[in-house]
């Protein structure tokens, strides 16, 4: 299957600082990328959907000014957690799909980023 | 409102046994139903998926059974192995609305040797 690479795998930052997480599709072009947040022993909660070259669509309850998403190219999307606080500590996962594919089947997931805000 | 309901929350199976995880959905517009396997600290990986035009799909030891009229689908893991111990998520998606995935709550499977 296609590969989605997420970087970094884990990051520790101080409260009040910003952290950027990258999501890259390595062998296909991702027209759409999704960002999820997962708390321990819980399911994946969709935060936002981004299409290449356009603004991200945020799910209800997700602060767009706090979680900045940029999808500048067909292979890269970034999530920036601004002014991070301990409650932002979580496992963040991206996934990518190529919706031009007529089968539009799979969504490929990155390996996730463990963010710890101290 | 949870779009996809998954059960059980956890499951313990002896090696060689059959693991069965069930999911139910409400939105009849869903037309793609994947199952994902997630190990601790890793992202989900696609295991097997089905579309509503078939009632069953089998890949190796993994089988999806799909009941369109009941709006239910299930994952069967035959000859379960300790290496299958992971958390399993069902999901549903549809062509519109950016093809978002709606995930079930997850089932933690423990296969005992």
pLDDT, tens digit, for every residue of B59-87?
999 999 999 999 999 999 999 999 999 99
Interface test mutation site (partner A, options B43, B53, B87, max chain A beta carbons within 10 A): B43
pLDDT, tens digit, for every residue of A63-98?
999 999 998 898 999 999 999 999 999 999 999 887
User: Three-class SS string for chain A?
Assistant: CCCEEEECCEEEECCCCCEEEEEEECCCCCCEEEEEEECCCCCEEEEEEEECCCCCEECCCCCCCCEEEEEEECCEEEEEECCCCHHHCEEEEEEEECCCCCCCCCCEECCCEEEEEC
Q: Return the DSSP state at B89.
A: E
Q: Return the DSSP state at B43.
A: -
Mean pLDDT for all residues in chain B: 92
Residues of A in contact with B99 (CB under 8 A): 32, 97, 99, 104, 107
Residues of A in contact with B95 (CB under 8 A): 104
At residue B98 the predicted structure's pLDDT band, cuts being 50, 70 and 90, is low
**Locate tokens 């002896």: which residue?**
B14
Give residues with Cβ within 8 angstroms of A103, minimum separation 6.
Answer: none
Can you tell me whether residue B25 is helix, strand or coil? strand
Residue B107 has pLDDT above 90, yes or no: yes
Mark yes or no for CB contact A114/B46 under 8 Å: no
CB A68 within 8 A of CB A58: no
């Amino acid at each position: 299957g296609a590969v989605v690479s997420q970087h970094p795998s884990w990051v520790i930052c101080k409260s009040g600082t910003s952290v950027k997480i990258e999501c890259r599709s390595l062998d296909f072009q991702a027209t759409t990328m999704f960002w999820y947040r997962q708390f321990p022993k819980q399911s994946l909660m969709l935060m936002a959907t981004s299409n290449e070259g356009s603004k991200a669509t945020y799910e209800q309850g997700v602060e767009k000014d706090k979680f900045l998403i940029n999808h500048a190219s067909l292979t890269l999307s970034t999530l920036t957690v601004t002014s991070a606080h301990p409650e932002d500590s979580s496992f963040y996962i991206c996934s990518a799909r190529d919706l031009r594919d007529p089968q539009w089947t799979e969504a490929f997931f990155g390996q996730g980023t463990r963010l710890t805000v101290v | 409102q949870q779009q996809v309901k998954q059960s059980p929350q956890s499951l313990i199976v002896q090696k060689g046994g059959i693991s069965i995880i069930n999911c139910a959905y409400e939105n009849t517009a869903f037309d793609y139903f994947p199952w994902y396997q997630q190990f601790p600290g890793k992202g989900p990986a696609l295991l097997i998926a089905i579309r509503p035009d078939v009632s069953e799909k089998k890949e190796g030891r993994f089988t999806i059974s799909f009941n369109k009229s009941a709006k239910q689908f299930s994952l069967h893991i035959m000859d379960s192995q300790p290496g299958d111990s992971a958390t399993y998520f069902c999901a549903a998606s549809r062509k519109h609305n950016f093809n978002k995935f709606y995930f079930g709550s997850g089932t933690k499977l423990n296969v005992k040797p």
